[in-house]
Amino acid sequence: MMNDSFQDIVTSIMEINKEFLESLTGAGEQMLAQHDQAWREWKRQLATDDQPAWQKLIAAYQQEQLNFWTRLVPESMRRDPDMLESFSQVVDSRFADQEWDENPILQLLKQSYLLASKNLVSMVDALSLPPDEKRKLTFYVKHLLDALAPTNFFMTNPEAIKRAMETGGESLVRGLENLCKDMKLGRLSMTDETAFTLGKNLAATPGAVIYENEIMQLIHYQPTTALVFDRPLLIIPPYINKFYILDLQPHNSFVRYCLDQGYQVFLLSWVNPDQQHSELGWDDYVEKGILAALEVVGNVAGEKKINIVSWCIGGTLLATALAVLESRKKINRIASATFLTTMLDFSDPGDLGVFIDESYLESQEKKASITGFIPGQDLFYSFSLIRANELIWAYVAKSYLQGIDPPPFDILYWNSDPTNQPPKLYSYFMHNMFNGNRLIEPGALRVCGIPIDLGKIKTPTYFLSTINDHIISWRTTFTAGRFLSGSRTFVLGAGGHVAGVINPPGQQKKHYWINGDEGSEPDQWLKTATKVQGSWWTHWSRWLKRRAGKKITAPDQIKTRGRNKTCPGSVAYCLSMVSAR
């Protein structure tokens, strides 16, 4: 028999568990109702009695709960070794604090939450829904479950309680201050933003803006070596982000690394659009962006062949620009093209596909018709939802519940500084590529009046994917190079979408994979690939140097040459023009 105190504990936890389950039909209904078909089917099948699969799931859940409670009851509050073994099988960083394993009350709450979460996800999986609808519903159910985790509430977060006792309640005051500060900002703070100043300890590599038009500025960086390769290097970042991710601090600046290898480095910085840019579209970003930059770089470098590096959606844009150059018989100006975590085939956009349905696009386009642009924070929030535990709730628990200020982190500073999008550009990309997947169909898209055929592009290419990419699955980016006809080198880096790219030499435990079976599917490629310790930057640089031309004396100073309008100025000037924060 249980003693009275333990009976009270069990009763309380069961009540919490009951409220947790019921919350899906309360607080969760509004979120799930975003996808009417999935939600209606969810409720219909919940109300259907003749569902053998559901009956088995519910029975299994009830049996697991019964087993859990009965294993805890014997010998009052003493822990059951068998039960602890079941806890140890669950690896979840949210429950890393030892109190979750040592405190019987928290053990009850943790296991009850995990069992209920598992059951609800299984219930969604048992629905007879089209795959896309099931994927959306699963995503939102998991997102709701993440939000309801006991670690997100003060009274059920042992670290928050412990810190409040140690600080005499000061942590609670500090947490409230952090919450108020973020409410004023309109976003969650992920780093100490006072630790960074653009142009001083971020984006501080010496250089100048040598050309500007309505859509971009072109930066030319001062060489750091006496001799440089005569073929210049043009870097194209995503137009949804600020350029300085490629020029963070000296120790992890990709731009600085390239300069130190002897490359002449140019970088395209996209405008941060507002209402006056609402009519800019994909053609403008190709013609006035990439192609205009190539012309200026060619003039500065004496019409030499040019190597190009692109990242993410900047790579998607580059692929269409190369197809335009091919049609115009100017592709021979490009010595090589590097694509970092780039999608060309959008048949499987991963969890991003949850946000890219017609109803979502319609709502975004409706808002943009009023504001004149797609806010950068919208996309930032979508990316955060994909890894909500790491990019939302972990900061809620630390900053608000424990009153701990986030530490300085340059990548997260940049991550919180997104770029707006013109509605015309946004709609073209979303409808034709994300939803329509027309880029890989020869002639299905026209850019700058030219039918796009990726198969005609014979430029040597280097493709990098990252194994823990939460935005674009590496298995999706793995196939990108197969749509082009030139020689391809594929490398799989460690890390995620950003940290896997900003991966300088000298860091311990860094590695990448090369030389897998090129004709195989992604997983087979990885099985046959060679794991190499170190940074992919060094592998890429060796690859690029074979295509970089001969060594010449580095120019003493940067010259501003361009067409239509030259815009001499420092990189700090460029930062001011893109409204960096």
Catalytically annotated residues: 312
Token pair 């969890």 is found at 351
DSSP of 318-374, one letter per residue? HHHHHHHHHHTT-GGGEEEEEEES--S--S--GGGGGT-SHHHHHHHHHHHHHHSSB
CA 98 from centroid of its chain's CA atoms: 31
Which residues touch 194 (CB under 8 Å, ≥6 apart)? none
Distance (Å, whole) CA 419 – CA 140: 26
Distance (Å, whole) CA 34 – CA 144: 13
Name which of 254, 309, 228, 207 is nearest 568 in CA terms. Answer: 207
Pair 403, 170: CB distance under 8 Å:
yes
Q: 408: which 2 tokens?
A: 């300085």
Polymer length of the chain: 581
Name which of 477, 524, 510, 482 is nearest 313 in CA terms. Answer: 477
Name which of 357, 370, 306 is nearest 335 in CA terms. Answer: 306
- Residues 111-124: b if buried by 16+ CB within 10 A, e if exposed: bbbbbbbbbbebbb
Q: 227 in helix, strand or coil?
A: strand
Q: 516 in helix, strand or coil?
A: coil
Distance (Å, whole) CA 3 – CA 78: 13
Distance (Å, whole) CA 18 – CA 223: 65
DSSP of 233-275, one letter per residue? EEEE--TTS-GGGGS-SGGG-HHHHHHHTT--EEEEEE----G
